[in-house]
Chains A and B, each alone.
Chain A
């Protein structure tokens, strides 16, 4: 009550001043807020340019694009939602959709975005469907792949075992290293997922009703993946020095600087290399499976969510229409390095390159993150298990057994 009273007192002057404006302007002018995830490769100039371009179209509908780093995005959104002041729209990891939908925080984008925009999105990209309704518009979707610095090696591995051999051959520290590895916990578990999926692993068992069951992170595939990662880092020593202190953001510049032979990466690599002034030739290939397994790369999909508590959802819908139907979306895809999700952008020549061909092939068998509301906690537990193995305080089996037990406890599975 005290807060309401306070808010009332504080709002009073603005109400008095607002009464001087014309009624039409007061009703019509809307400024939507958009939490914009900072994608590697997408520049600040692009963000500002897009904002200015939309804001010129119709003074009654404005957008405020607020840049947020990926590491902070979930926290910022949770805080905003908890405080009852969500943005109108936000980029989110598609895996978060379920969580926000469970909290009853979302509205279907179709309520505000025109059918023309939604129809222009490839059907296969519409992953953000919950209970049969499209709750998140795809903004970026792309499988991860292997990039090879041809000034160090041209050998293309067909299996993980071959990758190990080739990385050993390419390794010549401190001039350059065979393979890139992330050793410091960061927002995502991508590194482990590359190897885990390559070993045929799944994070969870599936119940007959389609829901997730017990954790399978300690399955033979999990143990094989982590044992292999540990061997590369601590026995073969083919990864960059100091990998334990490196996040992805800190470490990828090593590849752009020509100091890494093999890196498992996303399609932002081309624009990031261009921005870093890298000139060495690169070839792209699938992330190889372990011998006897089929290639199963990780695919990352991000969506745009519309929040029920947003006050300017109409302006937000108009902004999405503008963005997706203009050249701006194609430019975004090109900079972020994701294959286009819209038919219009896919016809652009920028996407007819060897890298996008590799990504298109990778999409066939690619697998995403499990859509489970507690995923952030689960991946944190798995990260700790990986760190224990790297620090040599636990064996892969012991670390993953403990992680699986902790994950089952988080998910209330006995």
Chain B
């Protein structure tokens, strides 16, 4: 057996590699501790009966899954979560695109406009939602007051008091908070498109819509794909808008999966059933990510 002789250069590389591993170790330990451990514990809770503090009491196999899946309310909430995500992501993408195009045009005060558009996204989400709860207030709220005094709607609805208006009022707040992010990433994509492409298109007499369809959109398609995926993941799990505005009411009619998980765990102390719902949420979102990733990388090839 021949002994490998390390040159001074190789010794240095080994030492550097060891140092790199040592520096990475705390991060690896943290990620394992804070991501893997909770996942495993949630899985355990889903197959155990838990007490009112969420501690494991007795192994029950798939009983908790049976209880949750046979509950009609669970399917309503799941359907509403999908509707919520689809509508909100579509609107965020559409409005984000429009705003990005507007902000991509050179005009006086462009920088200020960009900064202002970022504000809703840069602000604390719970505080933004709280502000909106006051905007929607039927007595003191800015929205109803404006609608009344301008005569646009003399008897405006109690936005958060009814199932349908409450749901759409909450969706609007989620959109309002999420649009700036979409606009920002679309804008950064648009700014990387070579100006020459548009100049050639101008010479060929291409109109604005055609420029968008044949130059802008294909150039930023990858960015659109990845940002809508991110937005879908965040929107599906957006707890603040619904919990702060309607608390899931009236009569649970605005609950989505994430608020329902919270209620089951912390209001009803049914941690085992909440864990089942969390796992189902995890499966839905992971499936979405996998489908997206396969499509994304397939196109790359």
**Could you list which residues of chain A lie within 8 angstroms of chain B, going by C-beta atoms?**
2-3, 5-6, 9, 74-75, 78-79, 81-82, 99, 102-103, 105, 183-186, 240-246, 250-251, 253-254, 373, 376-377, 380, 383-384, 387-388, 390-391, 393
Instruction: Give the shortest distance, in Å, between A398 (CB) and chain B (any CB).
Output: 13
Q: Determine if B268 and A376 form an interchain contact, defined as CB atoms under 8 angstroms apart.
A: yes
Q: Which residue of A6, A82, A184, A242 is within 8 Å of B33 (Cβ)?
A: A6
Question: What CA separation (Å) do A78 and B271 show in the bound complex?
Answer: 11
Q: Determine if B251 and A184 form an interchain contact, defined as CB atoms under 8 angstroms apart.
A: no
Residues of B within 8 A of A105 (CB): 53
Instruction: Give the shortest distance, in Å, between B148 (CB) and chain A (any CB).
Output: 9
A-B contact pairs, 14 of them (CB 8 A): A5-B29, A78-B266, A79-B266, A184-B247, A185-B249, A241-B158, A242-B158, A244-B158, A245-B159, A250-B133, A376-B268, A384-B250, A391-B250, A391-B251
Q: Check B52 for interface membership: any CB of A closer than 8 A.
A: yes
Q: Check B167 for interface membership: any CB of A closer than 8 A.
A: no
A-facing mask of B74-114, CB < 8 A → 1, else 0?
00000000000000000000000000000000000000000
By beta carbon, the residue of chain A nearest B165 is: A245
Residues of A within 8 A of B37 (CB): 2-3
Q: Which residue of A186, A245, A376, A388 is within 8 Å of B160 (Cβ)?
A: A245
Question: What CA separation (Å) do A244 and B159 show in the bound complex?
Answer: 9
Instruction: Count residues of chain B with CB under 8 A from any CB of chain A.
Output: 35
Q: Determine if A74 and B250 form an interchain contact, defined as CB atoms under 8 angstroms apart.
A: no
A-facing mask of B7-45, CB < 8 A → 1, else 0?
000000000000000000010011011000100000000
Enumerate B138-163 residues with CB–CB distance to A below 8 Å: 138-140, 144, 158-163
Q: Which residue of B30, B144, B250 is within 8 Å of A244 (Cβ)?
A: B250
Query: Which among B144, B161, B162 has the greatest number of chain A C-beta atoms within 10 A?
Result: B161
Query: Which among B26, B158, B250 has the greatest number of chain A C-beta atoms within 10 A?
Result: B250
By beta carbon, the residue of chain A nearest B267 is: A376
Knowing A387-B250, A388-B251, the reply to whether A246 touches B139 (Cβ < 8 A) is yes
Instruction: Give the shortest distance, in Å, between B205 (CB) and chain A (any CB).
Output: 54
By beta carbon, the residue of chain A nearest B36 is: A2
The secondary-structure label for the interface of chain A is helix
The secondary-structure label for the interface of chain B is loop
Question: What CA separation (Å) do A74 and B55 show in the bound complex?
Answer: 17
Question: What CA separation (Å) do A183 and B158 show in the bound complex?
Answer: 11
Question: What CA separation (Å) do A254 and B139 show in the bound complex?
Answer: 8
Q: Determine if A387 and B249 form an interchain contact, defined as CB atoms under 8 angstroms apart.
A: yes
Knowing A245-B138, A387-B251, the reply to whether A380 touches B161 (Cβ < 8 A) is no
By beta carbon, the residue of chain B nearest A373 is: B52
By beta carbon, the residue of chain A nearest B55 is: A82
Question: What CA separation (Å) do A380 and B133 show in the bound complex?
Answer: 21
Q: Determine if A241 and B52 form an interchain contact, defined as CB atoms under 8 angstroms apart.
A: no
Across the A-B interface, give the 6 residue pairs with the lowest CB-CB distance, nearest first. Answer: A242-B138, A244-B161, A245-B161, A245-B158, A387-B250, A75-B266
Q: Determine if A391 and B162 form an interchain contact, defined as CB atoms under 8 angstroms apart.
A: yes
Given contacts A2-B32, A105-B53, 5 further A-B contacts (CB under 8 A): A2-B37, A5-B29, A74-B267, A75-B267, A377-B268
Q: Check B67 for interface membership: any CB of A closer than 8 A.
A: no
Question: What CA separation (Å) do A5 and B268 show in the bound complex?
Answer: 33
Q: Determine if B250 and A242 form an interchain contact, defined as CB atoms under 8 angstroms apart.
A: no
Residues of B within 8 A of A3 (CB): 33, 37
Q: Determine if B160 and A384 form an interchain contact, defined as CB atoms under 8 angstroms apart.
A: no
Query: Which among A9, A75, A78 has the greatest number of chain B C-beta atoms within 10 A?
Result: A78
Question: What CA separation (Å) do A386 and B139 show in the bound complex?
Answer: 21
By beta carbon, the residue of chain B nearest A390 is: B250
Instruction: Give the shortest distance, in Å, between A255 (CB) and chain B (any CB).
Output: 11
Question: What CA separation (Å) do A251 and B140 show in the bound complex?
Answer: 10
Residues of A within 8 A of B52 (CB): 78, 99, 102-103, 373
Knowing A75-B267, A184-B161, A380-B267, the reply to whether A81 touches B251 (Cβ < 8 A) is no
Enumerate B48-70 residues with CB–CB distance to A below 8 Å: 51-55
Q: Determine if B29 and A9 form an interchain contact, defined as CB atoms under 8 angstroms apart.
A: yes
Instruction: Give the shortest distance, in Å, between A92 (CB) and chain B (any CB).
Output: 14
Q: Check B136 for interface membership: any CB of A closer than 8 A.
A: yes
Q: Check B125 for interface membership: any CB of A closer than 8 A.
A: no
Question: What CA separation (Å) do A384 and B253 show in the bound complex?
Answer: 10
Q: Check B137 for interface membership: any CB of A closer than 8 A.
A: yes
Instruction: Give the shortest distance, in Å, between B173 (CB) and chain A (any CB).
Output: 14
Residues of B within 8 A of A242 (CB): 137-139, 144, 158, 161
Q: Determine if B29 and A250 form an interchain contact, defined as CB atoms under 8 angstroms apart.
A: no
Q: Determine if A185 and B247 form an interchain contact, defined as CB atoms under 8 angstroms apart.
A: yes
Residues of A within 8 A of B268 (CB): 376-377, 380
Q: Determine if B29 and A384 form an interchain contact, defined as CB atoms under 8 angstroms apart.
A: no
Question: What CA separation (Å) do A391 and B137 show in the bound complex?
Answer: 18
Q: Check B289 for interface membership: any CB of A closer than 8 A.
A: no
Residues of A within 8 A of B249 (CB): 184-185, 383-384, 387
Knowing A2-B37, A3-B37, A82-B55, the reply to whether A384 touches B139 (Cβ < 8 A) is no
Residues of A within 8 A of B217 (CB): none
Instruction: Give the shortest distance, in Å, between A5 (CB) and chain B (any CB).
Output: 8
Knowing A2-B32, A6-B33, A103-B51, the reply to whether A183 touches B267 (Cβ < 8 A) is no
Q: Determine if B138 and A74 form an interchain contact, defined as CB atoms under 8 angstroms apart.
A: no
